[in-house]
Amino acid sequence: MYKADSNRYRTMKYNRCGNSGLKLPAVSLGLWHNFGDTASYSNMENLIFTAFDNGITHFDLANNYGPKPGSAESNFGKILKEHLSSYRDEMIISTKAGYGMWDGPYGDFGSRKYLLASLDASLKRMGLDYVDIFYHHRPDPETPLEETMGALASAVQSGKALYVGISNYDGPRLEEATRILTDLRVPFIINQNRYNIFDRTIERNGLKETAAKLGKGLICFSPLDQGLLSDRYLNGIPKDSRVFTDGRFLKVENINDDRLTRIQALNKIAGERGQTLAEMALAWILKDETTTSVLIGASKPEQILDNIKATENTCFTKEELEAIDKVSK
């Protein structure tokens, strides 16, 4: 039986999620990759144990994480039941609904029927009575926002979620969602969005600024830009790169000579700071007080330990920030 390290809270930093009372670890573990039915179960266990032993209390899932969809929740639920049930009150478990999950017109986007049915299915797969955070995974251009936010309110009112969040929204949609959820007296506390040195979308679409203004937390996924902001691509594209094994999100045409030159230049800046490129990329996100957490993925326990080191130095000089902007933009 797994027993957690008694020193697990000694070094991890915990940040308040916006103006709420909830704190998240500066580094959270996402179960998007490497927790599906094609992954090694013993490795999944080691990833979870390593994370929790080092103060990572937040585990982020979604209904469609796999492959196949739902399998990440099922595998996590099995690990939770077998090893971590006694630590449930020390854990933040989040899940989402909003992308295609089952056939027909009721298994996608943001209708009340889909969101609440999906939450029930997620809880069943994980063997939980509630999740700590339930997200709407992406905006729905056809369903009224009042309906979608009303479904999040029902998730809290039913006791199946403690807090709610939204993912992949922009600034104006965030502001409107906040107005609706405030009127419904729902504990809406967090936004989950893609953000990294190369991808500054939330700086341009108002999400980052609006989240700070409204006192909402921000957790950033893809902080290493699918591995580009690490040492994996310093010498070109490795043979086991995701571009060859899973080209859905990282494509060969996006890794050109110019991008590789920029990666090398960023690595030089990181070295001058005494950090690896990955450590600097994570620290760059965590430098802002408005950022609650960075969401990492890992295929090996060692990667988790390496990423946690980013929290040791999140201070940047003006010159360093200007150099990073010059290279990345």
pLDDT tens, residue by residue, 123-162: 999 999 999 999 999 999 999 999 999 999 999 999 999 9
Specify the pTM: 0.95
The verdict on residue 238 lying in a domain is no
Ordered DSSP codes for 209-276:
HHHHHHT-EEEEE-TTTTTTTSGGGTTS--TT-HHHH-TTTS-GGGS-HHHHHHHHHHHHHHHHTT--
Q: Please tell me the predicted confidence (pLDDT) of residue 242.
A: 60
In this prediction, residues 197-219 reach a mean pLDDT of: 98
CATH number of the domain bearing residue 95: 3.20.20.100
What digits encode the pLDDT tens for the residues 292-320?
999 999 999 999 999 999 999 999 999 99
- Mean per-residue pLDDT over the chain, rounded: 95
Q: Is the pLDDT of residue 245 over 90?
A: no
Q: Is the pLDDT of residue 243 over 60?
A: no
Higher per-residue pLDDT: 320 or 249? 320
The verdict on residue 247 lying in a domain is no
Q: What is the CA radius of gyration of the chain?
A: 19
Q: Please tell me the predicted confidence (pLDDT) of residue 6.
A: 98
- Domain range holding 305? 14-225+288-312
Q: Is the pLDDT of residue 78 over 60?
A: yes
The verdict on residue 6 lying in a domain is no
Q: What's the structural domain count of the chain?
A: 1
The verdict on residue 144 lying in a domain is yes
Q: By C-alpha distance, which of 197, 142, 133, 136 is closest to 169? A: 136
Single-letter code of the amino acid located at 173: R
CA dihedral of residues 273, 274, 275, 281 (deg, nearest 10): 0
Q: Please tell me the predicted confidence (pLDDT) of residue 235.
A: 77
Q: Is the pLDDT of residue 211 over 80?
A: yes
